[in-house]
Amino acid sequence: MIHANALTSGFENLIHIKFNKEIMELGIFKLSIQLGRDLMGLSLTYFMFSFLNYEIWQIFCFYFLRQVPFFFTIPFITHFIEKFGLKHGVSTRGAVSIIFYLLLPVLMTTDFWQSILWLMPLFIIRSFFINTSNVAYDICIAKHMNQHKQGSAMAGIQIAIMAGAVLAPIMGAFITASLGFEYVTYFGALVLLIGSLILYATPDEKFKVPYTPKKMVRDSFRRTSKYFFQAELGRIFFDVILWIIWPIFLIISLDSITDSGMVIGFSSGIAMIAAFFIGKRIDTQKKSQSTILKHGAYRSTFLNFFRAIWIEPMTLSIIDALSRINDQTIKVPYQVHYYKWMHEKDTFERAHIARFLAEGFYMSIIAFILLIFWVFRDMGTPPKEVFIGIFTIGALGMVLTTQIRKINRK
């Protein structure tokens, strides 16, 4: 049993397992989760838009109502992680996601509000376990970060994520087009099961959490740097765009789920290669972290403005590929600063605070975009200018991610 005082004084008394082994296990898990998420991401949006005939504002309402429980359940996960352990806590995401994905095609119908009524209990249960997994995952990464190879470590995790992002959209698109949405859920469940079993079968240790839910919420607003708030706002706004807006835009513009899957998969593959070299550069040129991040954020502002202007598949692929390559110049150094801040002190509480604030930002940003599409609901398909406006706001917001450089300053 790890004592509470060890949690606030660094990691000297925590689990001593070789860095590469831990990161490899977490990387395999992250790959399976990313495969499952990206298999469902494009296919679920396509299913709601093309088969259930949901309007765009209803699709965003679905994601908003799915997101709300994440914000309100996250303060209460600490005792569960205490009893379940870190890596076993991470693995819980797989089991609950399997159930969620298998039930989705059964519970979702053309009656939007009836579907939401049936899904809400599932949303609440799922949010608790995914919050548990996310916080435990961040603690594991921060705990086992090799201080001399931070860039390579973060690049390795990013490569695992991007590998899922390459394969999943293409596979999900072809399975949906040829067999139907329910078969995507079957395949996604299998992938999630494999990833979760790998972590659940590994040795783990338990610990005591040295703070209460009330203290965590209070510290989120009183003891967290304003620069962290700014950086996370910029990062999450753009993440929502890639997660929800971009698939909707591709489906509307290309009118083909297979073309949409190929665009996302192709661009993610190129970005995966870029992440490797960026991580190497960060390790060999420590002073370049902030410069890489700053220049990447500025390039992102220009690249993402053009997302909604051209709708020919090849051009969209090139623009998306350039954008995702450039995104690695933001994500890899961003995560180095992020986990360095988390590793520095109060790691368990900081990991919890970071996810609490992130879920609040996701909820608020999705609500904001939902409001925009609700205003244009009577127009059927919103004009392209709406998408251009949202992409531009998200691109400009990426400049805020540069503020992450300041959170570790004394």
Neighbouring residues of 252: CB distance < 8 A, sequence distance ≥ 6:
49, 381
Residue 6: pLDDT band (50, 70, 90) is: very low
Where is pLDDT greater, at 329 or 76?
76
- pLDDT reported for residue 269: 57
- pLDDT reported for residue 319: 74
Which helix (H) or strand (E) segment holds residue 195: the answer is: helix 181-200
- pLDDT reported for residue 232: 95
- Which range has highest mean pLDDT (83-92, 126-135, 206-215, 264-273)? 126-135
The Cα 394–Cα 397 span in angstroms is 5
Residue 128: pLDDT band (50, 70, 90) is: very high
DSSP string of 61-101, one letter each residue:
HHHHHHHHHHHHHGGG-HHHHHHH-HHHHHHHHHHHHHHHH
- pLDDT reported for residue 360: 96
Out of 134-138, 166-170, 319-323, 398-402, pick the least confident.
166-170
DSSP string of 298-333, one letter each residue:
HHHHHHGGGTTT---HHHHHHHHHHHHHHHHHHHHH
Q: Is the pLDDT of residue 241 over 80?
A: yes
Tell me what the mean pLDDT of segment 51-78 comes to. 94
Where is pLDDT greater, at 152 or 373?
373
CA distances from 12 to 6, 8, 366 (A): 8, 11, 40
- pLDDT reported for residue 2: 32
The Cα 47–Cα 334 span in angstroms is 34
Contact by Cβ (8 Å): 390, 245 = yes
* Ramachandran assignment for 3, one of left (phi > 0), alpha (psi -120 to 50 degrees), beta (any other): beta
Q: Is the pLDDT of residue 20 over 60?
A: no
The Cα 372–Cα 387 span in angstroms is 10
Where is pLDDT greater, at 120 or 13?
120
Q: Which two tokens stand for residue 367?
A: 């609500």
Q: Which residue blocks in 108-203 are alpha helix, DSSP H?
A: 112-143, 150-178, 181-200
Contact by Cβ (8 Å): 303, 327 = no
The Cα 202–Cα 299 span in angstroms is 42
The Cα 25–Cα 77 span in angstroms is 23
Contact by Cβ (8 Å): 293, 330 = yes
CA distances from 389 to 66, 165, 372 (A): 25, 26, 10
Out of 82-91, 130-139, 392-401, pick the least confident.
82-91
Residue 159: pLDDT band (50, 70, 90) is: low
Q: Is the pLDDT of residue 91 over 90?
A: no
Residue with tokens 């949906």: 176
Residue 3: pLDDT band (50, 70, 90) is: very low
pLDDT in tens, 290-340: 677 777 787 777 777 776 666 566 666 677 777 777 776 777 788 878 888
DSSP summary character for residue 286: T
- pLDDT reported for residue 210: 80
Which residue from 8, 20, 34 is spatially nearest to 215, judged by alpha carbons?
Answer: 8
Where is pLDDT greater, at 180 or 98?
98
* pLDDT over 90 percentage in the chain: 25
Out of 120-134, 145-159, 174-188, pick the least confident.
145-159
Out of 130-144, 168-182, 333-347, pick the least confident.
168-182
The Cα 94–Cα 32 span in angstroms is 9
For residue 2, what are the β-bridge partners? Answer: 207
- pLDDT reported for residue 169: 61
Residue 211: pLDDT band (50, 70, 90) is: confident
- pLDDT reported for residue 260: 56
* pLDDT over 70 percentage in the chain: 69
Out of 85-94, 131-140, 144-153, 324-333, pick the least confident.
144-153
Report the mean per-residue pLDDT for the chain.
76
Where is pLDDT greater, at 201 or 371?
371
Tell me what the mean pLDDT of segment 112-128 comes to. 95
User: Hey, how many other C-beta atoms are within 10 angstroms of the C-beta on 234?
Assistant: 26
Tell me what the mean pLDDT of segment 36-57 comes to. 83
Distance from first CA to last CA of the chain, Å, rounded?
33
